[in-house]
Amino acid sequence: MSNKDENKAISSLDKKLEKETAENKRANQIYANDPELHGKTRLQARAQEIGMALLSVVVGSLATVSIMLPNGLTFGGITGIARIIQYYTNWNYSLVYYALALIVAVIVWVFLGFKEVRKILLMSLTFPAAMFVLEVNNVVIVKSDDLFLVSVFCGVVMGVANGLTFKAGFSSGGTDSIAKVIKYRWLPHLGINDITFVINALIVLFSAAVFGIQIALYAVIIIFVSMRVSEAVMFGLSNKVVELDIIPGDADALADFIMNELGRGVSSIEVTGEYTGDKRKQLKILCSPRESFLIKRHLAKEDPNSFVSVISIKSVWGRGRGFSDIRSMD
């Protein structure tokens, strides 16, 4: 490639990145000024959440009725309790689950109020209904003697369903809701995750007595895989947010670029180099990986002696693009 062609390619890349920077700034401003709806109307945002929740209902129903049940497997939570009851009574699984879900909803209503019930009502009504349709029509996705692979597959599908549920801002209305009641009414010093773990552990242990230790161990595999997949669905397979700690030559110029060109916030502290004794300003920025590249490119051109460390962040609660609105967290 000739120097002329190379310069033309660089110029084209510069224009593309400048356009992307401007679009990025507009998007960041929307997320910063409207952390709850992100520029959508309340109706649009609610419709998106409900649509995601209903998708999780379909996926979770397939995991339970079309993968778990045909292979004689079980799970934790009220899914596992319903499985045990079905084993002894031979009742329709989805109807048993329906009864348990309604019992949980009533308990939550009595102890925590209607505001908490609203979070689980959609799932409590639609999830058993979807399972009933699949169960009556005997829909089976996979049935195999290799229960290890089936357990992993079941865990993946359940994890997708759980991740979509929480991402949409709803709750499944299972043992996590019971754990919340126990925490707020009797054991406030314990975490909800700790209480949920104990409840699920007891259900799995009881399942071992009913179905045998092998099925209980497969249940542990399903629970473990579903937890990991659920986290991936909620937070993404790759980090959406990175933290940049930068010691630039011209801190004011860099802060101006980040705030006015990218639309991101910046914080700063004064640091001292112990070897030289020089005092300099260190900037901290939370941004997307793509924005970190734009900052790196700016520094490479304007301030190549800067020192930058990049830290992967799992999640950020606050106002900003790629951040989670702290008000939506329990």
The neighbour count for residue 173, using CB atoms within 10 Å, is 27
- The amino acid occupying position 168 is A
Half-sphere exposure for 139 (CA within 13 Å, toward CB): 16
pLDDT at 330: 42
pLDDT at 185: 82
Q: Which domains does the chain have, with CATH numbers?
A: 3-33+240-313 (3.30.70.120), 42-235 (no CATH)
The pTM of this model reads 0.69
Cα gap 40→98, rounded to integer Å: 34
pLDDT at 237: 55
Cα gap 154→72, rounded to integer Å: 12
pLDDT at 329: 41
Burial grade of 171 (CB within 10 A; 0-12, 13-18, 19 or more): buried
Print pLDDT tens along the chain (330 aa). Answer: 555 555 554 566 566 667 777 776 676 666 666 655 556 677 777 888 888 889 999 999 999 999 999 999 999 889 999 999 999 998 999 999 999 999 988 888 888 888 778 778 888 889 999 999 999 999 999 999 999 999 999 999 999 998 888 877 777 777 888 888 888 888 888 777 778 888 888 999 999 999 999 999 999 999 999 988 887 887 665 557 888 999 998 888 899 888 887 888 899 898 888 877 888 899 999 888 778 888 888 888 888 888 999 888 877 777 666 666 666 544
Burial grade of 275 (CB within 10 A; 0-12, 13-18, 19 or more): exposed
Cα gap 159→67, rounded to integer Å: 13
